[in-house]
Amino acid sequence: MTADFLRFRLSSMMFGQYLILGCWAVTLATYLMGSPLRGGLGFPPSYTSWVYSTVALSGMIAPIFIGLLADRLFAAEKLMGVLHFVAAVMLTGVAWCCYDYQPRIEAAYRAAAAQERIGEIPLLDMEQRLVDAPHEATPETKKAVREAFARVQASPELGRLLDDTFVTLFLLMFGYTFCYITTSTLSNVVVFRNLPDSREKFGSIRLYGTIGWIVAGVQLELFWNVISAAPLFLAAGFSLGFAVFCFWLPHTPPSGQSKSLGEALGMPALSMFRRRSFCVLIFCSLGIAGVQQFYSIYANRYLNELHAPYPAAVQTLAQVAEVCCMAAIPLCLRTIGLKGTMILGLFGWILRNGLFATEWLPLVVLVGLPLHGLSYAFFILIASMYVDRQAPLHLRASAQGIFTFISMGVGTLLGNWFSARIVNEQTIGDIVAWPVVWLYPTFISIAILFVYVLMFHERDEAKNDTSF
């Protein structure tokens, strides 16, 4: 087996892994929260948030099982194949549940809305007036519309259907995301155990995952209706095909070194919390992971409501910028240092959210979306690199485990809850006051930047290190 053929298989693996995720993760919230009259399910933000929280919950518990399954019992590539097959079955169940319940939800929604009037005007006609001329409505009218839609949501038949749909989706998505997150970790295992000099070459392999995400967004907008169950069926089909592909990957037998529960959760690295800068970095990463959920869950719906052309495809500008910024990391570290580069990433989050609050589409698309890629590369990726560099060799895996558990697990869950609460407070019927929504992550990002600037101090001997 030649080195080029090995890299081709590993690159294809990363491409497929993130192609599957990109098919549903970007547009699912738009579908779940979309009006039943337009093909959506009419979920409240809280239900949508919990569906997305299955990713964080799975990310918190999957490492516990990976240590047992991949390190002691099964070859990684075979385990990936089986899990992707199970994931395809689970995601097909999710898609079929949505497809089956949507017409019934729409009928119940229409029946409940038909009973509501604002003065002499039917509720749905008043909602359309708010969409056409939002600034002409009085606060009293907006309050009356909000209360009327609350009664619609609380109608017994619609409420029962939404509850039943949510419970089914949550359970199926939790099973699916557990399988997917496990395969995502296993894909890294396959690369690191088979690719010579993997620490230096991993980035060039992982790059194909970003390309897969971009391809997913573009083809969704060109060929599919994103406010439907079609993207879920598509992702399930890709997952089934990828399950077969996984058995073609390089053989990666168990290492024979299983992890204990404490090791899987990163407990050996708790001693690093004696360092103030490490604590500051973890705190800031937790906050940024929370702020990130405003974008991850609601950005696609926001772009749809701004009438952006091909929103899911346009969002891939963030991934293009991310790739460019990843290539620029060594230069930035040499010129402005680690702390300066991470400050640049934090400032990008502030500016991006602030631009989103303007609702000016050219700025949002041409500047705001690329800033998302910059912020992710210059803060999240470098934070992970810093943790790896600062941890002793024998604690690197544990340090990464605790970093992921706190930031991407706890931080994401808190962000899901908080963003859902804010969006719900600023929603009237199917209309969201987006400028107010985006101000919240803007001000939180400003606070995180101040904490980081004042309290984080990288070690002098590591200040100009660009080895990672």
To the nearest 10°, the Cα dihedral for 21, 24, 29, 32? -140
Same domain, 54 and 198: yes
Residue 383: the pLDDT is 86
- In terms of domains, do 370 and 243 share one? no
Quote the pTM value: 0.84
> Which of residues 210, 241, 259 is at a domain's end?
259
Query: Given this model, what pLDDT does residue 40 score?
Result: 92
Over 80: is that where the pLDDT of 316 sits? yes
Residues 160 and 292 in one domain: no
Residue after which a domain boundary falls, among 228, 259, 290: 259
Nearby residues of 243 by Cβ (< 8 Å), 6 or more positions away: 81, 82, 84, 85, 87, 88
CA distances from 49 to 44, 149, 298, 371, 413 (A): 9, 20, 10, 24, 9
What per-residue confidence (pLDDT) applies to 266? 59
Of the two residues 180 and 74, the one the predictor is more confident about is 180
- The residue segments making up the domain with residue 130 are 1-259
Q: Is the pLDDT of residue 12 over 50?
A: yes
- 24 with 54: CB under 8 angstroms? no
Query: Is the pLDDT assigned to residue 467 strictly greater than 60?
Result: no
pLDDT of 265 over the 80 cut: no
Contact 378, 328 (CB under 8 A): no
Which pLDDT band, with edges at 50, 70 and 90, does 245 fall under?
very high
Residue 461: pLDDT above 60?
Answer: no
Residues 399, 252 share a domain: no
Is residue 415 within 8 A of residue 386, CB to CB? The reply is no
Task: Say whether pLDDT at 453 is over 90.
Answer: yes
Q: Band of the pLDDT at 397, cuts 50, 70, 90?
A: low
Residue 32's pLDDT is what?
94
Report the range out of 6-20, 72-86, 389-403 with the highest average pLDDT: 6-20
Label residue 152 by pLDDT band (50, 70, 90).
confident
What's the whole-number mean pLDDT along residues 83-88?
Answer: 95
202 with 286, same domain: the answer is no
User: How many domains is the chain built from?
Assistant: 2
pLDDT of res. 104:
94
* pLDDT tens per residue across span 213-222: 999 989 988 8
Supply the angle between the helices 3-24 and 230-246 in degrees, to the nearest 10.
160
Confidence of residue 394 (pLDDT cuts 50, 70, 90): low
Residues 94-109: tens digit of each pLDDT: 999 999 999 999 999 9
What pLDDT, on the 0 to 100 scale, is given for residue 344? 94
Sign of CA dihedral 365, 366, 367, 369: positive
Cβ partners under 8 Å of residue 339, min gap 6: 456, 457, 458
Both 182 and 277 in one domain: the answer is no
CATH number of the domain within which 22 lies? 1.20.1250.20
Same domain, 255 and 270: no
Regarding whether 353 and 232 lie in a shared domain, the answer is no
Instruction: Among 259, 288, 317, give the residue marking a domain's end.
Output: 259
Confidence tier at 465 by pLDDT (50, 70, 90): very low
What percent of the chain lies above the pLDDT cut of 90?
A: 43
Alpha helices in 224-316 (DSSP H): 230-246, 261-264, 276-305, 311-314
Residues 246 and 270 in one domain: no
| Statement to judge: residues 305 and 226 lie in one domain | no
Q: Do residues 68 and 97 both lie within one domain?
A: yes
Q: Within this chain, do residues 190 and 212 fall inside the same structural domain, yes or no? A: yes
**pLDDT tens, residue by residue, 120-144:** 788 888 877 776 776 767 777 877 8
Angle of CA points 230, 235, 240, to nearest 5°: 125
Which amino acid is present at 267? M
Q: What contacts 60, CB < 8 A, 6 or more positions away? A: 405, 409, 410
The string of DSSP letters for 301-335 reads HHHHHTT-SSHHHHTTHHHHHHHHHHHHHHHHHHH
Mean pLDDT of the chain: 85
Work out the number of other CB atoms within 10 angstroms of the CB of residue 106: 20
238, 258, 254: which is closest to 246 by C-alpha?
A: 238
The rounded Cα 408 to chain-centroid distance in angstroms is 10
CB 294 within 8 Å of CB 440: yes
Calculate mean pLDDT across residues 261-285: 77
Residues paired with 431 in a beta bridge: 428
**Is the per-residue pLDDT at 468 higher than 50?**
no
- Please state, in angstroms and rounded to a whole number, the distance separating the CA atoms of residues 353 and 372: 9
Residue 33 · residue 297 · CB < 8 Å = no
Could you report the per-residue pLDDT of 346-376, keeping only the tens digit for each? 999 999 999 999 999 999 999 999 998 899 8
- In this predicted model, what pLDDT tens digit does every residue of 159-195 receive, in sequence order? 899 999 999 999 999 999 999 988 887 887 788 778 7
